[in-house]
Amino acid sequence: MRTILSLSLVAFATLASCLPSNNSATAIPPSSTSYWFSQPIDHFGLNRNTWNQQYVVNATFYKPGGPIYMVTPGETPLSTYYTDRTHFTELAQKTNGLLVAVEHRFYGKSNPMPDLSGPSLKYHTVENVLEDFAAIIRAAKRNPSSVFPVSVSANSKVVFGGGSYGGALAAWMRAMYPKLVAGAWSSSAVLQYRLQNYQLDQSWGKHLQALGCANDVAKAVKDLDTILLSGNTTAIRNIQAEFGIPALTPRDFAGLVTSLISAAAMTPNYVDQDYTRTTVCSFFNGTQSKLSSYATAVASMIQSQGYSQNDLTQIADTNLNLDNYALGQVGRVWYYQGCAWYGNWQVAPPTSCGLTPYRSQLVDLTYFQPNCKRKFGSNMVIPVNSADFNRKWLGRLRGVSNIYYTVGSLDLWRGSSVLTWEGLALPNTTASPIFLIEGGSHTQDLSKGNTRDLPSLTTSRIVGDRQVMKWIA
């Protein structure tokens, strides 16, 4: 994340009035306390009206001169998980640091506009997102008491951290604001964007191959597509019932199955458990057909997660409440980023590629893209230019040091990360170290350490901590 250092007198007065006194060394507010920072709607345009951005602070371990760790949940609402239960919490404790988690604009309670219509979301740009973070850092460096509930040194070094999309934000913050951000921990950062991201499907396949059930899943998906494309309504309804899924269109059904399976693929791996083996591969035991085994695996996921039939219908709704512009719809904002920023639609590989698909062929570009104009207005440019986005934002990382990139070898997003499947680093990122976590999954190094961790995962944190020590020295 990056820094800016401006508060109007009015905003400063508002902040000062809502921050607790920091005169007492023992009066440390709980990390569940919300604070609010006044930001302009558009840092770079004409709309200078303001809104309040939410952040929370863990000052438990801070001592004068200690570093400031700034993290963001990215595309999810803010919670104390990000201050209390991550590796950055451990880092703050080791280094007498202060940990601040800042909510991303348009997610959770941090809303620059009164709704999520297309005209409102035009202020949702990468530049504005980064400048939001930068503004808080600048203010903290100029007048720490205007931002933090305890006394903080104005010259404290700032380390930015995040995972996945948040990992990209961390890297961009270091690149864009090197005088404000001393270093960035960029876990599983999604840095290479494509209009059709079938590389994600292939990453999933590589994990299945490592577990020995890739052929079984591929056969099940192929057999499922045969039914869904047959037009036989009875067969389609029967297979939906076998999966434990309500009556949906074939395409929405295929998309829902993909969403449920992808959730399993994002779960952490440990020395004593690979969640994908438990929830997917273990069901292919030869006692039933590949498709029935696949259906049983998905039905078991639904049951374990406690999804109701109504929940499943809502998850499968590709329209995502087309005419509902109300705030608080995380999926709507995330959909906008795909439409307006980078594409990156999670699809099956086109048949012309000759690749084995591990998700339904019905989940293709036409499953996602048509909704862009319907949801956000006719001004949306379709298709978005993913190559231009890469040139701009991957290009920003050229020659940038003090970024610690981590990638899990079995990360579902490996194909979009800083390290390709061939082991080659993206060319603009070679000025900073990259650590490959053998057996690791998505953003796993950002969690707190425990005795079940993979050896490589433990090592990745040790290496990262050493990098941080250099940045804050």
191 class by beta-carbon count within 10 Å (0-12 exposed, 13-18 middle, 19+ buried) = buried
Query: In 3D, which of 250, 253, 268, 338 has the Cα closest to residue 298?
Result: 253
Please answer whether residues 413 and 230 qualify as being in contact, where contact means their C-beta atoms are separated by less than 8 angstroms: no
Distance of alpha carbon 13 from alpha carbon 384, whole angstroms:
42
Specify the pLDDT at position 323: 83
Q: For residue 31, give both structure tokens.
A: 């990390």
Query: In 3D, which of 471, 436, 424, 392 has the Cα closest to residue 168?
Result: 392
Distance of alpha carbon 185 from alpha carbon 91, whole angstroms:
12
Geometric angle at alpha carbon 398, from 394 and 404, rounded to 5°: 85
Please answer whether residues 418 and 189 qualify as being in contact, where contact means their C-beta atoms are separated by less than 8 angstroms: yes
SS3 83: helix
Look up residue 342 and give its DSSP letter.
I
Specify the pLDDT at position 377: 93
Tell me which long-range contacts 18-27 makes (C-beta under 8 A, separation of at least 24): 19/145, 19/146, 19/148, 19/149, 20/149, 22/145, 22/148, 22/149, 22/150, 22/151
Q: For residue 103, give both structure tokens.
A: 């909510």
Please answer whether residues 255 and 318 qualify as being in contact, where contact means their C-beta atoms are separated by less than 8 angstroms: yes
- What's the chain's Rg over C-alpha atoms? 23
Specify the pLDDT at position 14: 31
Q: How many CA atoms lie within 13 A of 12 on its CB side?
A: 12
Place of tokens 């020995």: 212
Please answer whether residues 89 and 58 qualify as being in contact, where contact means their C-beta atoms are separated by less than 8 angstroms: yes
Specify the pLDDT at position 473: 92
Specify the pLDDT at position 20: 38
What is the maximal distance between C-alpha atoms in the chain?
73
Specify the pLDDT at position 18: 39
Q: For residue 330, give both structure tokens.
A: 């995380």
Specify the pLDDT at position 10: 28
Phi (first) and psi of residue 154, to 5 degrees: -65, -25
Q: How far apart are the first and last CA of the chain?
A: 20
Specify the pLDDT at position 314: 86
pLDDT < 50 regions, the chain: 1-25
Distance of alpha carbon 368 from alpha carbon 255, whole angstroms:
10
Please answer whether residues 140 and 147 qualify as being in contact, where contact means their C-beta atoms are separated by less than 8 angstroms: yes
**Helical pair 250-265 and 214-228, crossing angle rounded to 10 deg:** 160
Specify the pLDDT at position 26: 52
